[in-house]
Amino acid sequence: MTAALKVLHVETGMNLYGGALQVFYLLRGLKDREDVENALVCPEGSAVGQASRNLVKTLHAVPMGGDLDLPFVGRLTRIIRKERPDIVHLHSRRGADVLGGIAAKLTGTRCVLTRRVDNPEKNVWAQVKYRLYNHVITISEGIREILAAEGVPEAKLTCVPSAVDAGLYRHNCDREWFSKEFGIGEDHRVCGTVAQLIGRKGHRFLLKAVPGILESVPKARFLFFGKGPLEDQLRSRCQNLGIEKQVLFPGFREDLDRIIGCLDLVIHPALMEGLGVSLLQAAAAGVPIVGTRVGGIPEIVRHGVNGYLIPPADAAELVAAATGILSDPDLARRMGENGKRIVDESFSIHTMVEGNMRVYREMMVNFRNP
């Protein structure tokens, strides 16, 4: 019997959302396979470590201090030499990408990086950085194209889209609970945005569009889920626009699976986006989406099918797209059903797990440890 492939996963996120949630899905999907054995390196006290404890053979909870935590190289090097994995899989930035790549290189271990963001990097830096890895997985074709344009060889890149646990979102909305929880009338049309309150998520352009949406749909309400440094600034802007009663800031929620299906529309006005897990959640729940034509968003939002795509920073187009869906319940229902189908066909956990396994197998064939 062939020995199981040993993979050491490295994830630096503290909370169980975004990239860390994808790592949890991957480990869960790999748990009962006989052809792979997994170990996880994560921060002390992290949610992903707690959730994955029974999914891996070995869990290493260690201090992680981000990009400038140079001693992390030594800590990870010692773990690699102890575990002796066939492959080190680096899942995130914040120190895991470059420092993790150095540790893998020092130990002569095959290394794959999952790239989840579409932030451009300088070509010279990219060509140096990506030499640390035998292969790079991107979570969208948009990210893959950016890396290729920066000089990373095409043969080194594989797109494996992020996944969503669709079953969590396939249930009827408890509208009575939802209305009481957020102080919203049952006759209101509710638009949700799920993103960190940071500049590149584009909340300011949605706020600019809100008065126009309210002109056509006076009963529209807007929920900004998430936390971030721009919250005070965004709240102040709401007051200046006179829309502080229509725009609510519920903060970070761990029960989005209960919430998203109660929304009438999800709006994602990002200026940059690797893929957008919240959009996968919305599509899985059958909620139509208005998103910007950037990064990996067009891979989830098919224009006119399960939502509308608009140019980034274009408040007028956002008004037109949002009011078009909110004013046409039949259109919204069709788009919602189409979104469910898109998720089932292209963004299942099984598809994501198999995509990663294909990369692992190819690395074992194409790259020998020194």
DSSP 248-294: EEEE--S-HHHHGGG-SEEEE--SS-S--HHHHHHHHTT--EEEESS
* Same structural domain, 197 and 244: yes
* Same structural domain, 96 and 139: yes
102: its two tokens: 């150095």
pLDDT of 179 above 90: yes
Specify the pTM.
0.87
* Same structural domain, 264 and 146: no
313-338 pLDDT per residue, tens: 999 999 999 999 999 999 999 999 99
For position 197, which CATH number holds?
3.40.50.2000
Domain of 290, in residue numbers: 166-346
On whether the CB atoms of residues 153 and 240 are closer than 8 A, the answer is: no
* Same structural domain, 117 and 172: no
User: Residue 261 has what pLDDT?
Assistant: 97
244-272 pLDDT per residue, tens: 999 999 999 989 999 999 999 999 999 99
276: confidence class by pLDDT, cuts 50, 70, 90:
confident
* Same structural domain, 131 and 213: no
181: its two tokens: 């929880």
101: confidence class by pLDDT, cuts 50, 70, 90:
very high
* Same structural domain, 24 and 135: yes
* Same structural domain, 341 and 354: no
14-38 pLDDT per residue, tens: 888 888 999 999 999 999 999 999 9
* Same structural domain, 79 and 90: yes
Rounded distance, CA 100 to CA 20, Å? 16
* Same structural domain, 25 and 57: yes
User: Residue 369 has what pLDDT?
Assistant: 59
* Same structural domain, 183 and 323: yes
* Same structural domain, 122 and 220: no
pLDDT of 123 above 80: no
pLDDT of 370 above 60: no
* Same structural domain, 192 and 119: no
Number of domains forming the structure of the chain? 2
User: Residue 124 has what pLDDT?
Assistant: 79
